[in-house]
Amino acid sequence: MKLTVLGSGTAIPVPDRFPAGYHLATGDTSVLVDCGPGTLRRLAQTGHGIRDLDAVLLTHYHTDHCADLAALFFALRSPTFAGRPPLDLYGAPGLERLVARLRDAWPWLEPRGYELRLHELPPGEREIHDLRVTAVPIRHTAQSLGYRIATATGTAAFSGDADECEELVELARGTDIFVCDCAAPDGAKMDGHLTPGLAADYAERAGARTLVLTHFYPECDGHDLRAMAARRYHGEIVLATDLLCLDVGQAATGDPAPGR
Ligand SMILES: [Zn+2]
Ligand SMILES: [Zn+2]
């Protein structure tokens, strides 16, 4: 399984980091975790596209994690994609209301030429194509989920935006890669978010092999986030950049994705 960071940034526009989006690809399956503004363009830069996108999993409904849904629905109506397989969209309760309201605002987001299937997820495990996905409630908004995604050969976990909560340990337990909120440096924690030291604590307790810090607000600039995390975590630490590509389940050595 390959993991590509499509957006390592936040709601604050900066030149080199798009808001949250991640792409997971196995031989058979192509999935987005979050779909913040710009995610679809970054996905195109990886050489993948929306034609063979199987599913989108949303961690929560802040716009830096889902605003490209509207762009996705509109693009998929193009005759270019007619007859493509159904698209499955997963998220916490509230998903159907969100999609209904998007269609109220923009009637031309109604699916045409493809089937859109909405799934409001309770906590727990389910199969999505060849992935075993576990949704775990996370402290951020009232309806935030983290995702643990496993194949036969590797496991990745995504905190989404997260404040301190014990569920993060369960989410990341024994994973090859734990992608974790790191909104601000140690000493400058924001409500609803983590710092490198806190993310490192959870990764250490969970026994995650590689910690990928992400979702960097501009407040992180100029701080040695890696050193802050390394004081409390003994595995490999990766600072996410847009288009960073990692193998899940093998040595997680970053390569720029093709097309960068
Ligand atoms: Zn966010
Ligand atoms: Zn958020």
Per-residue pLDDT reduced to its tens digit, 88-131:
999 999 999 999 999 999 999 999 999 999 999 999 999 999 99
Q: How far is 241 from 2, CA to CA, in rounded Å?
A: 15
On the question of pLDDT at 255 being above 70, the answer is no
Q: Residues 39-72: pLDDT tens digits? A: 999 999 999 999 999 999 999 999 999 999 999 9
64 is catalytic: yes
Give pLDDT, residue 259: 42
The DSSP secondary-structure symbol of 248 reads B
What the block records as the tokens of 164 is 């301190």
Report CA(121)–ligand 1 centroid distance (Å): 20
**For residue 178, what are the β-bridge partners?**
157, 211
- Paired residues of 30 in beta bridges: 25
Distance between CA 107 and CA 111 in Å, rounded?
10
**What's the 113 CA to ligand 1 centre distance in angstroms?**
32
Q: Note every long-range contact of 106-110, with CB atoms under 8 Å and residues 24 or more positions apart, other chains counting.
A: 106/70, 106/74, 108/74, 108/77, 109/70, 109/73, 109/74, 109/77, 110/77
Tokens (6 digits) for 10? 């936040």
Q: Do residues 21 and 42 lie in contact, with contact meaning Cβ atoms separated by under 8 Å?
A: yes
Question: What is the chain's mean pLDDT, rounded?
Answer: 95
Delineate the domains of the chain, giving CATH numbers in brackets. Answer: 2-247 (3.60.15.10)
Please identify which of the residues 64, 176, 186, 242 carries the catalytic annotation. Answer: 64
SS3 of 95-150: the string is HHHHHHHHHHHCHHHCCCCCCEEEEECCCEEEEECCEEEEEEECCCCCCCEEEEEE
Distance 161 CA to ligand 2 centre (A): 5
d(CA 148, CA 98): 23
